[in-house]
Structures are given as C-alpha cells and as structure tokens.
Amino acid sequence: MDEIEVEAVDSLDPGVETDTAEYVLYGGKGGVGKTTMAAATALASASDGTNTLVVSTDPAHSLSDTLEADIPSRPHRIREDVPLWAVEIDPDDALDQAGMFGQDGGLSGGLESLLGGGMPGMGGESGPGAAAGAGSAGAAGEDESAAMMPGADEAAAMQLLLEYLDDERFDRVVVDTAPTGHTLRLLELPEVMDSMVGKLMQFRERMGGMLDGLTGMFGGDDDADAEQAMGDLDDVKERVERLRAVLTDPERTDFRVVLVPEELSVSESNRLVARLGEYGVPVNTVVVNRVMEPLADVTDVPADAFVAPNHEDCEFCARRWDVQQQALAEAQDLFRGHDVKRVPLLAEEVRGERPLRVVAACLE
C-alpha cells in the first residue's frame, strides 16, 4: 500500500503560534490519548505566553502524571516559568460546590421544596424508594443510586467548568474530557436540564395551591422555599444557555476528537463526530494518535532524536503499519473537511516536558 503523505510541522520552538480558539476540548474513547493531547496543547499555549488552564473532567485522572505535577481539585498554577494552571475536577467536590444539588446528588432543599417536599426519583425521600431503603445496606445503596438525579455528577462538573470558562485569569481553557459516553451525557445536559426546569415549573404552576396547603399543614415557610427554588431554577437555565452558547460557537470553541489508527476506533469516532454535529458542537480537528511512523515524517526533528519503528527489519512493525495504513485511509475519507493531525507512537512514555513538546508540534 502506498504511504500517505503527511505535511511536516515547521518547528518545535515552544514559541510557535498556537491555536486561537478560547476553548479547546479533547474527546474520544477511553485510552486513546486525550489527556496527552490536552496536556501538550496547554503546555504549548502557556509557553506562547497565553494564560492557559487545562481541566480534566475524567474521573480517572491522569493529568497529574502526564504533566508530572500535583494537580488539585481547584485551579492552581503548576509552572512558574510559563502561565500554566491546571485542575482535576473531583466529582464529589463538584457536587458539594454545586448549589442546585445536595451532597448525595439529589435536588437541593430549595428545588425539593418546589416539588412539595420530594418526589420519587428526583432526590426526595418520599415514594417507594424510601420504603425500600429501610432494608439491607445493599438495597439502601441501590435506592440512593435510584434517587440520584440522572447526570448529577456531570451537571456539577458542568457548573464548575462554566466557572472556569468564565474565569478572567485565563485566556485559553483546554479540557481533557471523560470518555465518549460521559462526554455525550455532559453535552446532553443543556437539553435535559432545559426540559427538567420547564417540567418543574409546570408542575409547580399546576399543583402550587395543593402543595402550599399541604406544606402549611406541616409548618415551614413555603413561600421562602419556593422563592429560593425559583432562583435556583433561574440559575440553572442561565448556566445551560451559557454552556450551549460556548459549545456551539465555532469562533470560540474547537472540540477535537482523538482516535487511534484502528478500524473500530475510526468507526466510533465517526459516530462521535456525527453526534456532536447533532448538538451543533463544532469539530474542527481530528487527531490520530500512536501512528507507527517516524516523527520526521510529521514534524521537523533530528533523525536520531527519537527511536523510529523499523518497517524493513521488524515484521511486527511492518504488519502493524499495514493495518494502520488501512485505518488511516478510512479516516482521511470519513473526516474530509476536518483538519486531521497525526501523532506518531513514541517509544518512550509521554510524560514530562520533552515528549509533550514533541506531541504539541505534531498538533500544530
């Protein structure tokens, strides 16, 4: 099979011009290298003098290892020589900080009050779930899970992510998203939350008189709780609208899909790009990671700087390269109109500044 030509990158100079998008999000299946790409992009951006925050929303964080730095659950500057900040969003911490949810992932007191003290499956204590929860510890765990509002952790992460996107300290935010399924749940939240808020408001309007009477029978300041709840709903709707505006603005956001040169990964990534398109999320770049070709074919590096695969004397390398060539050809055909980047497989683990700068050069 004929080799696919690849345009070489001009320089590894850390001062090379980086992306102009304010928000760069890397998505894809787990294990394809999203964290590596996000770390490399953020490092290159900060090295260019841009105040940059790299965010990991993946519960299985590896950003700390990749950047070889201790990264807390709140934005923290991890380099003194370049303006680079980092944060690994902790789901439990995010839930604690999110005003619309209780610490167990259920609705906060104000929103529960809007529903008259709780509903089954909406974080309240009434309904079959509460009765069943009185059984074994296992049953209690199941009921707690059932009572948790679907997507509560993603919603909480969304709230924190929005805060970071709005943070005036940062000129660019690079996001290492969770694997594909979690990412799509996060992207579905604007519609889900919009629908939920509308239904809650309709329920309140229809049942308001009855709920006021019931609440009055048992005491409590229903008017104050309802007012707080309506404020919570307004806040939710505002966050949803802002997230939608950010994610669907091609002038500000570049969602990059990462894959490996295998037929299954290419097919899954094609479906992800299509789903993102349904949400109006712009995908400008597709990154094919771990390609078994010399770095010199992709970027301008000295021939002896990194070990390259030996396609002539290594039968395994040659066969693997043939498989990858087929996947690469399919990717080029499927992702026409997108900027397809190729990052070669490095013999060494991509951790620390030197290999990350090489990856960043491949992404330019």
Give me the phi and psi of 35, to 5 degrees please: -65, -40
CA 296 – CA 344 distance, rounded (Å): 9
> Closest by alpha carbon to 203, among 288, 115, 298, 291?
115
pLDDT digit string, tens, across residues 144-191: 433 334 455 666 666 777 788 888 999 999 999 877 766 676 666 656
Task: Work out the average pLDDT over 235-256.
Answer: 81
Which of these ranges, 113-117, 288-292, 306-310, has the smallest mean pLDDT?
113-117
Are the C-beta atoms of 53 and 72 separated by less than 8 Å?
no
Alpha-carbon torsion, ordered 146, 151, 152, 154, to 10 deg: 150
**What one-letter code names the amino acid at 225?**
D
Q: Per DSSP, what are the bridge partners of residue 174? A: 24, 54
Give me 16's structure tokens. 């090379």
pLDDT digit string, tens, across residues 210-234: 555 555 544 555 555 556 655 666 6
Please classify residue 43 by burial: count the beta carbons closer than 10 Å to its beta carbon, then call 0-12 exposed, 13-18 middle and 19+ buried: buried
Q: Which residue has the tokens 């006021």?
A: 212
Q: If you average pLDDT over each of 15-24, 133-142, 255-264, 290-299, which comes out highest?
A: 255-264
Q: What is the pLDDT of residue 281?
A: 85
Q: Which residue has the tokens 């498989």?
A: 323
- Full set of structural domains in the chain with CATH: 23-87+153-181+241-363 (3.40.50.300), 95-151+198-239 (no CATH)
pLDDT digit string, tens, across residues 55-71: 998 777 789 999 999 99
Angle between helices 222-247 and 180-217 (to 10 degrees): 160
Alpha-carbon torsion, ordered 304, 307, 311, 316, to 10 deg: 170
CA 71 – CA 129 distance, rounded (Å): 38
Angle between helices 152-166 and 180-217 (to 10 degrees): 100
Alpha-carbon torsion, ordered 323, 324, 330, 335, to 10 deg: 170
